[in-house]
Each structure stands twice: as C-alpha cells, then as structure tokens.
Amino acid sequence: MPARRLPAEWETQSGIMLTWPHSHTDWNPILTNVEPVFVSICAHTSQHEKVLIVARDTEHKAHIQKCLSTTRVDYTNIKFGLADSNDSWARDHGAISVMDNEQPVLLDFNFNAWGGKYEYHLDNEINEKLQQQNLFHAPLQSIDFVLEGGSIESNGEGTLLTNQCLLSCSRNPGLDKAAIESTLKATLGIQEILWLKSGELIGDDTDAHIDTLARFVNANKIAYVGCDDKTDAHYQALHNMEQELKNLNNRKNEPYELIPLPLPDPIHNKEGQRLPATYANFLIINDAVLLPVYNQEKDYLAYTVLQKCFPGREIITINCLPLIHQYGSLHCVTMQFPKGILL
C-alpha cells in the first residue's frame, strides 16, 4: 500500500462541511425553499458526526443558528467557520482529504466553477480561510490543478472512477489525459483510474460529474443510474454508460457487481428546462446514508435499492427538490472529512 491513499466515503468520518447559501448567491430567489434542506442535512448528520458550517459573516452565522433552532440538532456536533462564498457546492470547492502514512492531509485544489461557467473567486479562497481559523486538525496543501470532488469516486483501495469531465479544456488547459492521470496518481495516491466516456444528465452544468451517475458502495460494487425507458432522452447515454461499467474489471481482474438505481421521473423548472435529478447523489456518513428524494413514487424504489447496498446503515431521505433548481443535489452541497480532521 502506497504512503498516500484517497479514502472511500464509507470509512469513518469526523464530519462534513456545508457552505450555507445566502442572499448574495444565485439561491436568493428560492432561499426560503433551500435553507430547510440544509437544516435537514444538519439535523440528521449531527446525530452521527460533526458538521462544519461555513457562514459568510457573523450576521449570517446568527441567521443560520436561528434556522437550526427550529429542528432537532445536536449542537455539540455543530462548528462554524467564516468565509464569504459565491455559491454552496462544497463538494467541489471543499478540500479533498487523503491519508498520508495514515495521517490526514487536506488538499486544496484550484476551483474555477466547472471551467469558468460562474463567478468563483470567493469559493476558491474558502479552504485557506478556514485553515487560518484553526478549524482543521490537519495540514492544508495547495495544489495548482483544477479538481472538483464531485468528479472523482474512490474505492479506498487505490482505484478511482471518473469520466470525461476531467478532460474539459477549460479546467486544466494544456494538460492531456496522460498528464491529468499522472497528477491524480501523484496527488491522491491512486494506482488505477477507470474512465467512463458515456453518461450525462440534462441540466447538469458540471460536464457530467461522476457523483451524479455512478458511485462505489464498497470496494467492488458500483451503484449507477439506470434507464429502461427508451423514450427518455437520457436512455442512450445511460445505456452506453451501463455497458462501459459492465466491461470494467477490478484490480483482481474480476467484474464489478453493478446495482442499478432508478432514474427519477422528469422534473422541470418553470421555464420548462429539465433538471438533473438523480438518486446517485447520496452521501455516506457514519452509520447512515443520506438519500436525496424528489416527492415521487420512485423515491421508495431508490430507498429499497440503497438499503440493500448498505445493509448496516440507516437510510435517511432528504427532500432535495429545491436543490436541483440550481442543478445539483445532496452530495454536491457536502464534503466529508475522514477521522482526525474535525475534533
């Protein structure tokens, strides 16, 4: 085993990070609908581990504390950091944790809002500001490379699952696939990278992050978004992704066990645009899994599938219908930290 290792999400965690939405972000028109989702994530997660909430200033912190007072929260597990933000996608601007000789290290990769699609400079400064507040009990290393946490999946044993979003020329211009692979292996301690060419969700502005499509649920099992409806616009891309997954082998040259998740029924915004709803955007925490749901019958099917994937964990549903109106879901707004980082 190499000295550096990218943990799997199911390994013991010290907590998660949330960057709370506020009125100076694109959430403003639907803020009253979105904040209850963040409150629910906090309430459930705080029963299992710590939650680091990033507030833009002391006034915002006081507002968040008032929001949390409306529900059952374990306040002993709530921590606050202060840093202004452009948006709330902690999965992508949050630091990525690795274990170096089994000691946690935080990697602060560059964040450029999925290739410069939106303003991002405040988000790109959050990790350093939190480190200056002594909120992390681990060193923070700056890495001059654009990488978002939602674009990578680790099985904890040296294998990384990703797709073509990493090859976008607007992220790391001048670097080809070989150079990107080399950087990922060196910084994350990866030995094998599994690349998917197919799979996308309409409305996703991340160039098809892997955490909306296919997820490791253990070292040799992958849950993925399936689609049996040939009339659905997603059918061909998801069918092609399924075939690619079936052709993947683990490091023992054995096929992965594949578990299809349902594709939610189409959800559209008021302009008629289809939104990127997905059950693959779940979050694994200590002894539980938070599952995004969307007020439809397929929610229960996704629940039963995920319960079989995680028989020893409680499956907790979180209504994420408001989140997808900004084109992301539950996993996208969170970032987990392994043990030893949040004390």
% the chain with pLDDT above 70: 99
**Averaged pLDDT score across all residues of the chain:** 97
* pLDDT score of 146: 98
* pLDDT score of 169: 86
The 3-class secondary structure across 96-163, one letter per residue, is: EEEEECCEEEEEEEECCHHHHCCCCCCHHHHHHHHHHCCCCCCCEEEEEEECCHHHCEECCCCEEEEE
What torsion, rounded to 10 degrees, do the Cα atoms 82, 85, 91, 96 define?
Answer: -60
- Supply φ then ψ for residue 156, to 5 degrees: 80, -5
Segments making up each domain of the chain, as ranges: 4-338
- Asked whether residue 249 carries a pLDDT value surpassing 60, the answer given is yes
Q: b/e string for 223-254 if b means 16 or more Cβ within 10 A?
A: bbbbbeeeeeebeebbbebbebbeebebeeee
> In Å, how far are 106, 166, 286, 295, 332 from 292, measured between CA atoms?
27, 25, 17, 10, 11
**Over the stretch 189-240, which tens digit does the pLDDT of each residue have?**
999 999 999 999 999 999 999 999 999 999 999 999 999 999 999 999 999 9
Grade residue 343 by pLDDT with cuts at 50, 70 and 90.
Answer: confident
pLDDT (average), residues 9-33: 97
58-68 and 31-45 helices, crossing angle to 10°: 70
Q: Which ranges constitute the DSSP H helices of the chain? A: 31-45, 58-68, 90-93, 113-116, 126-132, 177-188, 235-246, 298-309
Topology adopted by domain 4-338: L-arginine/glycine Amidinotransferase; Chain A (3.75.10)
**Over the stretch 291-310, which tens digit does the pLDDT of each residue have?**
999 999 999 999 999 999 99
pLDDT (average), residues 105-120: 97
* pLDDT score of 1: 52
- Asked whether residue 2 carries a pLDDT value surpassing 80, the answer given is no
Contact 120, 129 (CB under 8 A): no
**Over the stretch 35-89, which tens digit does the pLDDT of each residue have?**
999 999 999 999 999 999 999 999 999 999 999 998 999 999 999 999 999 999 9
CA 7/CA 258 separation, integer angstroms: 21
Structure tokens given for 32: 């009253």
